[in-house]
Chain A
Amino acid sequence: KQEVTQIPAALSVPEGENLVLNCSFTDSAIYNLQWFRQDPGKGLTSLLLIQSSQREQTSGRLNASLDKSSGRSTLYIAASQPGDSATYLCAVYGDSSYKLIFGSGTRLLVRP
Chain B
Amino acid sequence: DVKVTQSSRYLVKRTGEKVFLECVQDMDHENMFWYRQDPGLGLRLIYFSYDVKMKEKGDIPEGYSVSREKKERFSLILESASTNQTSMYLCASSLNRGPGGTEAFFGQGTRLTVV
Contact = CB atoms under 8 A, between A and B. Distances in A.
- Pairing of A with B: yes
A44 to B, nearest CB: 4
Interface stretch (A60-68, A77-85, A94-102): A94-102
Looking at chain B's contact residues, the main secondary structure is: strand
B102 A99 contact: no
A31 B102 contact: yes
A98 B107 CA distance: 18
A112 interface: no
Interface of A is mostly: strand
A32 B31 contact: no
A91 B111 CA distance: 22
A43 B108 contact: yes
Contact of B104 (A42, A100, A104): A100
Interface of A: 31-32, 34, 36, 41-46, 49, 51, 89, 91, 93, 98-100, 102-105
Interface of B: 4, 6, 31, 33, 42-43, 45, 48, 50, 56, 58, 88, 90, 92, 97, 101-109, 111
